[in-house]
Amino acid sequence: MAKRIIGTTPKEDGFRMPGEFEAQDQIFMIWPERPDNWRDGAKPVQIAFTNVAKAISRFTPVTMLVSQSQYQNARYQLP
């Protein structure tokens, strides 16, 4: 079981949120699929996410988080 830290702040524990403008070692994206958030089965936004991931990956490694049910679809669309 994970140890819980109670009584301190993330900053006191050595965590920080880097600015968007800071150099990044890697980017994480989450593959869109939820029908309550995305129209048309998320197909239009999946194309957009693919294009964004391709553009970013020219400069920074991209890891796409994908549900098991969408894995084959994402694998087909992503480079």
DSSP letter at 8?
S
Euclidean distance between CA atoms 31 and 69, whole angstroms: 11
Amino acid 72 reads Q
Q: For residues 61 and 26, is the Cβ–Cβ distance under 8 A? A: yes
In a domain, 52, yes or no: yes
In a domain, 68, yes or no: yes
pLDDT digits (tens, 9 = 90+) for 5-41: 678 888 898 888 889 899 989 999 999 999 899 999 9
pLDDT score of 53: 98
Range of the domain at 46: 35-77
Which has more pLDDT, 35 or 68? 68
Euclidean distance between CA atoms 73 and 9, whole angstroms: 40
Which has more pLDDT, 77 or 13? 77
Task: Report, as an integer, the average pLDDT of 65-72.
Answer: 98
pLDDT at 46 over 90: yes
Domain count, the chain: 1
